[in-house]
Every structure is written in C-alpha cells, then in structure tokens.
Structure 1
Amino acid sequence: MSEHHHRPSPDDVHECTEALRSALRENGITLPSLGVELPAFAGAYHAPLVALGNCNAATALRLADALRKAAVR
C-alpha cells in the first residue's frame, strides 16, 4: 500500500493500522487498544475497521494537539 495515494483495500487493514500506530508514535502518542476490529471481518460490513479504542484524557489532548498542528501545514 503506497502512502496516501490510493484508497486502501480491505486487505490493507493491518498495514493501515501499523501505519497509524507508527505515525502516532512519532508524535509521542500511544493508543493501547489500537488494532483491527476482528468482528468486522465476520459482519455484513465489507470494509474491515481499525479500532482506535480508548485513551486517557492526556492522550486525547496530545492527539488533538498533533492533529491541529498537522492541519496548519
């Protein structure tokens, strides 16, 4: 999967999840429960989902700050 150049296919979900984990890590952010939503593979929804999971308030603020800084670029 090339970065930002095509719409990911359902087969790319693991690679997409790891790309997100890496980008978050580069910004000092860890979402402990980030992963592939495995029940989505069994459901009628044909695009596997990335489960962002839960985080504490401090992590949510760091994520919001990183997104705001990226939006300015």
Structure 2
Amino acid sequence: MKELRAELAKAGITLPSLGLDPVSLAREAPCPLVELGRCSVETARRLAAVLR
C-alpha cells in the first residue's frame, strides 16, 4: 500500500481513501486486500490517463 501510494504521488495522484480493508484482515486466515476507495472525477481521469 505504501508503494502504491508513493507511485501514485509521483504521478500527481492522491487516492484519499486508500487503505487496508479491515474485513479481509479479520478472517481466520488473513488475506489482506487493499481498498482503493473513492476519488473525485478529476482524480479518476488523471489515473486513467496515467494508465494509458
């Protein structure tokens, strides 16, 4: 998650809700999932542009 946040920051993108999904950590055999969360339309457009 830290690595993803850092790389997104290099591209000028911030996902404010980026974090670990607590439910995935509470399982008997933890399988952590990264929650990308919500972002503004402008952030989504910038993310799409970087992925192109």
Which structure 1 residue ranges, 4+ long, deviate > 4 Å from structure 2?
Answer: none
Task: Kindly report the root-mean-square deviation, in angstroms, between the aligned alpha carbons of the 2 structures.
Answer: 1.4
Identity of aligned residues (%): 48
2:40 aligned to 39, 42, 56, which one? 56
Structure 2: state its 5+ residue gaps.
none
CA distance in structure 2 between the aligned counterparts of 1:65 and 1:51, rounded to whole angstroms = 21
Normalised by the length of structure 2, the TM-score is 0.90
Q: Counting helix residues as a fraction of each chain, which structure ranks higher?
A: 1
5+ residue gaps, structure 1, are 1-16, 69-73
Larger Rg: 1
In 1, distance between residues paired with 2:29 and 2:36? 18
When normalised by structure 1's length, the TM-score is: 0.65
Q: How many residue pairs are counted as aligned between the two chains?
A: 52
One of 30, 36, 42 as aligned partner of 2:20: 36
